[in-house]
Structure 1
């Protein structure tokens, strides 16, 4: 794992990036190589909110959060948040079938797009920054994005080859999104170099998270990885007592999401019809489920 963020994103963080990116509309029958140009469906923009010091008090009681028994994150059948596959009929359906709209690849692309929108919804909106007392900088947003990508990719691996292939579509959406965010932050020169550095950080973090959850890992390994990857500037010093409480809460959150996603059925995962645990003020004594 790369421990010093200064090697890859200090410059971007100083510029500051609050991405309001939007995707285009759903398409079908595209190749993996061309997907980045045609990612589907719009993502709600994120309103500006006041950044704050890490030392200030969180707006939620973290000590009471993320202790509940894990449960499925799948959306109820009647949930207004569900996104269903379009059911066209007649000539339109015949035409779309010819255009491979209903091919396995196209369905996977649409499903992966919904999954990525769920990630963006959790990472780009104020509640997660307010709950864990984080400033909304490029570094923290990128770190949270990687954490939630890891959560989804880890769950997809449980579905074998099909899940790994689906994860590839999801990763390409992530990669395209990060490229847009870096460009929006003002990094136009040496963009390829920045993306390579961020790719190394991505894979380094993924490996570190997985290793910290292995049976032979020490009890505090996962908390330490969360601290280094998300809260610490360079990972060289441990958190103080004030910061440790927040870091431990995020570690509980991530561990619980791992368990909840494992309990979420395949259909919900592949269609994107699930939501991450709510982090709003009303979730101070529960996890929003």
Structure 2
């Protein structure tokens, strides 16, 4: 399932999630063109904003916390955000150079948002240190998710990584029996999501 060919990320024309750039004509089109509104970079930035908005709408939904019996804390929200970002960045990477460039804009939006979240959580002193620590966690999680998806990874490696990064409060390696089904459901959804 993970070795299949990537499919188009374009939404159907009648999709309610589809976001279109405004169509200006005449002098407005000319002015916006001069202001580089239609440049490749500008379009990529707008696209990254749309993708990040959708990521945040998923991470902020109360249903995800209820379904997986998660407490809505900074750690949990951050862990879910990293998992969603990994899914998006992994999928964008399959699109080649343009997908990687779009992923970089997406990552910059993520960094800015995390910095705002840390500030809102009351961390004003040592903000730079917190951001470095969160960046290490982000990259550590991304590497762990990628490693768990390799063909040579153990069969239950991905659920274990999900457990450690999202569910485990004490850093334990294995979930207990009652939490195992929830972790397996979450990892199944993450592995089979169709972006």
Smaller-chain TM-score range?
A: over 0.9
User: Aligned residue for 1:157?
Assistant: 93
Q: CA deviation at 1:162?
A: 1.3
User: Aligned residue for 1:120?
Assistant: 56
List, as ranges, runs of 4+ consecutive aligned residues in structure 1 with deviation greater than 6 Å.
none
User: Aligned residue for 2:104?
Assistant: 168
1:152-231 equivalences under 5 Å are 152-231=88-167
2:36 match: secondary structure: coil
Distance in 1 of aligned mates of 2:91 and 2:99: 8
2:45 to 109, 122, 125: 109
1:82 to 8, 18, 25: 18
CA RMSD of aligned residues (A): 1.5
1:239 match: secondary structure: coil
Conservation of the 8 A alpha-carbon contact between 2:160 and 2:173: no
Number of paired residues?
A: 189
Distance in 2 of aligned mates of 1:177 and 1:77: 30
Q: TM-score, normalised by structure 2?
A: 0.93
Q: CA deviation at 1:164?
A: 1.0
Q: CA deviation at 1:236?
A: 2.6
Residue by residue, what CA displacement relative to the aligned partner does 1:246-273 show, whole Å, maximum 9, x if unpaired? 000000000001xx22xxxxxxxxxxxx
2:116 match: secondary structure: helix
Measured at CA, do residues 167 and 73 of structure 1 come closer, stay the same or move farther in structure 2, by a change above 3 Å?
Answer: closer
Distance in 1 of aligned mates of 2:58 and 2:8: 17
Distance in 1 of aligned mates of 2:124 and 2:178: 38
Structure whose residues are more often helix by fraction: 2
Distance in 1 of aligned mates of 2:70 and 2:144: 21
2:73 to 130, 137, 145: 137
**1:92 equivalent in alignment to 2:23:** no
Unmatched 5+ residue regions in structure 2? 1-6
Unmatched 5+ residue regions in structure 1? 1-70, 262-289
Distance in 1 of aligned mates of 2:99 and 2:8: 18
1:121 match: secondary structure: helix
1:219 match: secondary structure: coil
Q: TM-score, normalised by structure 1?
A: 0.63
Q: CA deviation at 1:161?
A: 1.5
